[in-house]
Amino acid sequence: MRWIETEETVRFNEVDEWGMAWYGHYMAWFEVGRMALLRRFDLLPGQMVELGYIAPVINVNCDYKHPAACGDRIIIRTSVMKPEIAALVFQFEVMLEKDKVLLARGETTQVLLTPARKMIYRPSGELASRIARLVDFCVQD
Amino acid sequence: MEELVSNIKTLRQYLKKMIIDTLKLEDITIEDIEDDAPLFKEGLGLDSIDALELVVAIEKLFNVIIEDEDVGKRAFASINALARFIQEESE
């Protein structure tokens, strides 16, 4: 599996009263990673709309392994799995930059809809080929 | 496979087993699935992700493509509807 990496810094407004990064912010960090990966394959949300599709997240999970603190430099690693069905399944790992301690591991599932919100069961055309390029990039060693 | 598709009664039973196996429905048997009951929501209670999995299984088994929700609504209306849809598309 091939991952792409993006860096962020944990901001003051992202930590809770106990000095730990608030759990909900990991979703925002996943989003940073997702955009960085989608950008490479011309699959950003606006580009998807141009092709006539939207791709809402219908499932998210996250295992928290270690807390992050304000000012920590973090690395977000992002990849996608080879899909068995017409869905985009992203994998995420968030780690500390300095000693590569794993902070959290997560996954999101997106389905493909038309703007009128009809579900696509089998992508075709330009959308299918862009998704295929994205998957090929991520699944190779 | 042609023989299976041509006999609607056998096909219906086969599709019920396929749905149970594909979606790993643990508490449901072939007898629980009615021929005319809706597969989604108020019927068998399947959801849109279940539809995505069934579409892949149907394409593998019957080489029949259900490309989107519009076609899916017709195909997944009931076991009877699905069997007829597969028969029509296999012709």
* Amino acid A91: pLDDT: 98
Minimal Cα–Cα distance from B76 to chain A, Å? 13
Which domain CATH number covers A14?
A: 3.10.129.10
The answer to whether residues A68 and A98 touch, using CB atoms and an 8 Å cutoff, is no
* Amino acid A141: pLDDT: 65
Range list of H helices, chain A: 25-40, 45-51, 125-139
- Rounded to two decimals, the ipTM of the complex is 0.83
Instruction: Please report, for residues A43, A60, A62, A94, the alpha-carbon distance to residue A26 in angstroms, rounded to integers and kept in the order given.
Output: 22, 11, 8, 8
Structural domain harbouring A76: 4-139
The domains found in chain B, sorted by start residue, are 2-90 (1.10.1200.10)
Please state the rounded mean pLDDT for residues A11-21.
Answer: 97
* Amino acid B46: pLDDT: 86
Chain A residues closer than 8 Å to B85 by CB: none
Minimal Cα–Cα distance from A78 to chain B, Å? 23
Q: Which residue in the set A85, A118, A124 is minimally distant from B52, CB to CB?
A: A85
Chain B residues closer than 8 Å to A124 by CB: 67
Query: How much is the pTM?
Result: 0.90
Chain A residues closer than 8 Å to B48 by CB: 58, 111, 119
Please count the structural domains in chain A: 1
